[in-house]
Amino acid sequence: MAVIIEPFRIKVVEPIAQSSRGQREGWLREADYNLFSLPADRVTFDLLTDSGTAAMSAAQWGAMMVADESYAGSRSFHRFERVVRDLTGYKHIIPTHQGRAAERILFQITVREGSIIPRNSHFDTTRANIEYDRGDPRDLVIAAAADTDSPHPFKGDIDLDRLDDLCRRDRRNIPLGMLTITNNTGGGQPASLQNIKGCAAVLHRHGIPFILDACRFAENAYFIKRREAGQASRSVADIAHEIFRLADGCIISGKKDGLVNMGGILALNDDRLAAEARNLLILTEGFPT
């Protein structure tokens, strides 16, 4: 039998807090049971976020030491652009400091008062960004998502009938439609490839751009490989490539499946939107390259 080992060496060890039950109970009372008010050095297992929890490789840390910090035309940007374009296939690759910065820019250039943004489930910062621009975020996740006893393998699926009905009734108020993969607010549940294809078909039939919130694109592709009929023989990368190419753009927090310690991405095919996004980027993030 083959010996199963972890195929890497551990070179850095960071100590974590160890405390008694009594200490923890006291600290929780001091924080009024609000975990956002709890100092991180009192936490042993931090489950507050899935952001920035991955270790970076030796090659990544080494690349940071020789990165090109030029304000414009950086060679590091062009390397980044090639990698993201190869993954997603999108024409315009725009870096941001976090995923929420990417969604803020996207909604500022697309959402107006009364705009409706349909999606399986909106993450809290996404909902807040849409509502800040006086838009209406609509959650259209399937009913099985709320059934904790259901063994449904893809509880992140969007309800295609409700989506189609909304698009028929309010097409003029919908600047774009979205899908979160995996569906963070819905418990990190995946969407099936069949459902992603269906979502793309509905939106494109109504002439509505389809944008992915793809922070956990690799995880979602893995679930498709493991759970969806006819997908087991495909690689996770191949499935991810197909998913991205069903949509017209994406927003990504690189601190999740991107496996970096900081950064986000706004990727688009639309030339006009990309030009607007780059101009807005300069005001709050920096020059695109």
Give the tens place of pLDDT for each residue, 226-283: 999 999 999 999 999 999 999 999 999 988 888 888 899 999 999 999 999 999 999 9
List the one residue out of 131, 108, 156 whose CA is nearest residue 280: 108
Could you read off the pLDDT of 126-163 as tens digits, one per residue? 999 999 999 999 999 999 999 999 999 999 999 999 99
Instruction: Name the nearest CA neighbour of 137 among 114, 108, 157, 156.
Output: 114
- Read off the pLDDT of each residue in 16-38 and give the average, rounded to a whole number: 93
Both tokens of residue 228?
A: 């969806």
* Mean pLDDT of all residues belonging to the chain: 92
**pLDDT at site 1:** 61
Q: Is the pLDDT of residue 44 over 90?
A: no
Q: Which CATH number, 3.30.300.30, 3.40.640.10, 3.40.190.10, 2.60.120.10, labels domain 60-284?
A: 3.40.640.10
pLDDT in tens, 80-93: 999 999 999 999 99
Res 52 pLDDT > 80:
no
Q: Is the pLDDT of residue 193 over 90?
A: yes
User: In the chain, what are the domain boundaries?
Assistant: 19-48, 60-284
Query: Which pLDDT score, from 0 to 100, does residue 40 have?
Result: 87
